[in-house]
Chain A
Amino acid sequence: MSKATELHEALGAFDKTTSRWGRITMIMGLFFSLAAPAYLVFFAGLDIEVAGILTAFGALAAVFGVIWIVEPLTYFPILGASSMYQAFMIGNISNKLLPAAMIAQATIGVKPGTRKGELASVAAICGAATVHLTSLFIFVGLLGTWLVSVIPGDMIQTVQFYILPTVMGAVVVQAIVSQKAPRSAVIALVVSVVVVFIVQLYKPFGLFSTAVAVISTAALAWVLRDRRTLGSPEDTTAESELPEGPVY
């Protein structure tokens, strides 16, 4: 057998194994992640209607639908096919998995985009997953659960009551900084203030407010974009173009 065919077969086997088992494990992950709410909805004796879930899902799709498609498209050229199935189950892609892969490639001196680079990044993501699962299990699963059981009730209530404004305050600043699109940020601010004001005047509008704000901002940001810098195709795979934090 010639060297070239041997190489071809070895890599073919790797691709076959990772894409087959990558898909199988991802479908299993999908099953477990949906089994939890399915239990609550159908078996826990809670009064939750399927129609209500569809409404909630519709509201969510109006807000995040674009991101569901765009994110896999964005990461494919950087991750490669085999790592896609790892990354979208382990999560925290831009702030944890990509740096892990890059550092591994730099450590052994291989370039991204090469076959050696791909194997290095697969191994690096496995290493990152090991650390991540361990720290989640110990610090959140065990220590965190214990922590919640000892902190006073009024503190728990404060967290529950004010978690949304607290998280959104920090996240909105983080998103603005990492997107580096000040024009969109200003549009989002103006649209949001208007939408929230309308909700104050007419409460039932609250049901659609998020979707309306998101869709109008996206449309306005596109119409009012800076055509000098955003007219031509750019190399979106460049490192500098990656979102810096856990934006999505």
Chain B
Amino acid sequence: MNFPAAVRTAADSNSTDILAVANSPVLWACAIGVFLVIVVQSVIYMKAARIAAPHIGMSQAELKTSFRAGAISALGPSLAVVMVAVALLTVFGTPAVLVRIGLIGSVSYETAAAAIAANSAGAELGGPTYTQAVFGLALAAMSLGGAMWMIATLILTPLLKKGDSALRKVNPAIMMVVPGAAMVAAFMVLGIGELPKSWIHVVAFVSSAAIMTVLMVIAKKVNRPWIKEWALGIAIILSLSITYAATRL
């Protein structure tokens, strides 16, 4: 693989040429590192499962069938993620998109996190103030935020395995209401906050929301769950096309 962009330009905090730093070889190496870690983990897990299977009356064929069933069912969702990831390549660069959106996080969370981080520095995600330094800050915040999920998993899993009763007693009604409301509010305020910026921002937000609504209604009417899977990617790409057309008016 070649890394032309990285070699071409040196880092410049005030440059808005994000991709010059976002596609740097070091970031590629880190992304490939995460890929390899998952490969190693999967190999170790499969081996452990293969050793344990006969003892619980499970044949190797059943294990293989499970692996294959998982692989086939992941095909659609994976390609749906690919579509969204490609749309964000110019905003975060390939390595960060692979790790943050393709793997650990998700497009909704990471985009929101990057926007919040940029705002905290008085800048904006994607605009003229989205410089290399702001990108670095956003990536740091996204990665630290993503790390919190992993750290929570590392701490909570052994506790839950021991059957820690205090954790299980967390009020289920709070668990149902608060996180969902918080997420909707985060996306809503970030989206609505874009509207006063220009009429093209309004076009972007409204067209994307409208396309998503139509797709959700169709998915429900014809009862095709795959439409829901692809809805986000389709809405983002279509709405970006509409927005691009609007900028040329």
Contact = CB atoms under 8 A, between A and B. Distances in A.
Interface in B29-56: 30-31, 33-35, 37-42, 44-46, 48-49, 51-56
A9 to B, nearest CB: 8
B172 A236 contact: yes
Interface in A192-213: 192-193, 195-196, 199-200, 206-207, 209-210, 213
Contacts of A170: 208-209, 211-212, 231-232, 235-236, 239
B180 A181 contact: yes
Interface in A117-148: 119-133, 135-137, 139-145, 147-148
Contacts of A39: 24, 26-27, 30
A158 B244 contact: yes
Contacts of B187: 168, 171-172, 175
Interface residues of B, number: 171
A214 B41 contact: no
Contact of A123 (B70, B88, B178, B209): B70
Contact of A128 (B70, B126, B135, B184): B70
Given A14-B52, A18-B45, A32-B33, A60 B105 contact: no
B7 interface: no
B218 interface: no
B189 A161 contact: no
Interface in B45-99: 45-46, 48-49, 51-58, 62-75, 77-82, 85-91, 94-99
A33 B65 contact: no
Contacts of A155: 244
Given A33-B104, A34-B144, A171-B187, A69 B152 contact: yes
Interface residues of A, number: 169
A121 to B, nearest CB: 8
Contacts of A33: 30, 34, 99-100, 104, 143, 146-147, 150
A196 B196 contact: yes
A68 B206 CA distance: 29
User: Which of B53, B109, B145, B180 gathers the greatest number of chain A CB atoms within 10 Å?
Assistant: B180
A174 to B, nearest CB: 6
Interface string A209-243: 11001111110111001000011111010000000
Contact of B205 (A31, A143, A166): A166
Contacts, number: 612
A112 interface: no
B49 A165 contact: no
A130 B71 contact: yes
B31 to A, nearest CB: 7
User: Which of A7, A92, A181 gathers the greatest number of chain B CB atoms within 10 Å?
Assistant: A92
A217 B181 contact: yes
B204 A166 contact: yes
Interface in B178-218: 178-196, 200-202, 204-213, 216
Interface string A154-193: 1110111111111111111111110101001101110111
A113 interface: no
Contacts of A74: 175
A21 B111 CA distance: 31
Contacts of A6: 55
B89 A145 contact: yes
B57 A66 contact: no
A236 B176 contact: yes
Contacts of A156: 90
Nearest to A231: B173
A139 to B, nearest CB: 4
Nearest to B117: A56
Given A172-B191, A174-B216, A188-B188, A165 B208 contact: yes
B74 to A, nearest CB: 4
A90 to B, nearest CB: 6
For the complex of A and B, 6 pairs with smallest distance between CB atoms: A124-B70, A169-B208, A168-B191, A10-B55, A127-B70, A217-B185
6 contacts: A29-B38, A29-B104, A32-B33, A72-B157, A84-B157, A103-B69
Given A122-B45, A158-B243, A184-B181, 5 more contacts: A40-B140, A64-B109, A82-B45, A162-B240, A168-B194
